[in-house]
């Protein structure tokens, strides 16, 4: 009787896993719980721009540079950041991975705990994905296409979130801004000039906004600024500074220079029965009063 041939695998389980990881298109990095890099696949090596020998055994924070997608500040502990995002997802918010060439790529990340045969936790498997396309879609949904400021819908969403978490004693403020004589720019120089002016105005306003605040283009030549933890007297002072800065700016189009003004209405946001619509309506009314007062002074 002839014995049946038996098949013996020439690959160990570890070798099979390594082969699979090497074939994945997404960068995969394995660390221990201190953040020390244990393994990374070819896609990760290509993304980081370093060879395996110079990476293994080093801390993740020394191997990759992650920037906060909003503040653009470096994240000191990427592993803790990634683990927190995996347990408390924040849709449409992406961090930036800075490559060795200086190029910044929005990334989407996922983390899984690596467990040994005894089911004890041994490390973390981190998968990074290029989120350039997803980030662009998210920006288009929440930001104005011309100025790249938050759009009305996103502004109202953030205002609503602020109102929902508002506590007694907290003080916030909202500035409603309407450009003066902007229609004349469009009528005289055309919509291309008007669009150029709106982008420049957005840059001027953005330069004086704190990281925690929300600047938005509500539509047309109307802007709004949500000032968190800001009493109304400081909000009024900020409004005067914005108006003065804009008044001093000279706009030039096709050899013609002109200046613009802005009417600003400020309202306080304190504990009470407020809705986003009621706060915006009050600020809009204050802005109208400021514009009417300016006309009466002429």
Catalogue the active-site residues.
221
Helix H or strand E segment including 77: none
Alpha-carbon distance of 267 to 281, in angstroms, equals 10
C-alpha distance from residue 248 to each of 42, 64, 119, 259, 269 (Å): 54, 43, 67, 8, 30
Q: Return the SS3 of 202.
A: helix
Count of CB atoms situated within 10 Å of the CB of 282? 18
Pull the structure tokens for residue 264: 């600003």
C-alpha distance from residue 64 to each of 56, 129, 270 (Å): 12, 14, 42
Alpha-carbon distance of 174 to 224, in angstroms, equals 7
| Closest residue by Cα to residue 232 from 277, 275, 264 | 264
Residues 6 or more apart in contact with residue 147 via CB below 8 angstroms: 198, 199, 201, 202, 217
Q: Are strands 28-31 and 37-40 parallel, antiparallel or unpaired?
A: antiparallel
Total residues found in the chain within this entry: 298
Count of CB atoms situated within 10 Å of the CB of 150? 22
| Closest residue by Cα to residue 63 from 75, 54, 73 | 54
Alpha-carbon distance of 123 to 113, in angstroms, equals 6
């Amino acid at each position: 009787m002839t014995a049946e041939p038996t098949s013996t695998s020439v690959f160990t389980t570890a070798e099979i896993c390594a082969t699979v990881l090497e074939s994945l298109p997404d960068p995969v990095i394995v660390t221990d719980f201190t953040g020390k890099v244990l393994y990374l696949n070819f896609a990760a090596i290509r993304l980081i721009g370093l060879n395996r020998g110079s990476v293994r055994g080093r801390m993740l924070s020394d191997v990759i540079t992650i920037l906060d997608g909003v503040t653009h500040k470096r994240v000191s502990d990427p592993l803790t950041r990634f683990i927190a995002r995996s347990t408390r997802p924040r849709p449409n918010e992406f961090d930036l991975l800075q490559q060795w060439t200086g190029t910044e790529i929005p990334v989407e990340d996922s983390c899984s705990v690596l467990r040994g045969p005894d089911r004890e936790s041994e490390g973390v498997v981190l998968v990074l994905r290029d989120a350039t396309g997803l980030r662009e879609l998210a920006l288009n949904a929440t930001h104005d296409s011309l100025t790249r400021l938050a759009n009305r819908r996103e502004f109202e969403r953030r205002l609503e979130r602020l109102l929902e978490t508002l506590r007694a004693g907290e003080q916030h403020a909202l500035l409603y801004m309407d450009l003066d004589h902007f229609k004349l720019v469009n009528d005289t120089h055309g919509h291309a000039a008007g669009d150029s002016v709106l982008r420049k105005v957005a840059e001027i306003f953005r330069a004086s906004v704190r990281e925690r605040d929300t600047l938005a283009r509500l539509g047309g030549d109307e802007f709004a600024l949500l000032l968190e933890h800001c009493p109304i007297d400081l909000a009024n002072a900020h409004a005067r500074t914005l108006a003065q800065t804009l008044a001093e700016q000279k706009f030039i189009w096709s050899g013609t220079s002109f200046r613009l003004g802005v009417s600003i209405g400020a309202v306080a946001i304190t504990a009470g029965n407020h809705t986003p619509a009621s706060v915006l309506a009050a600020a809009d009314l204050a802005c109208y009063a400021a514009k009417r007062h300016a006309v009466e002074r002429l």
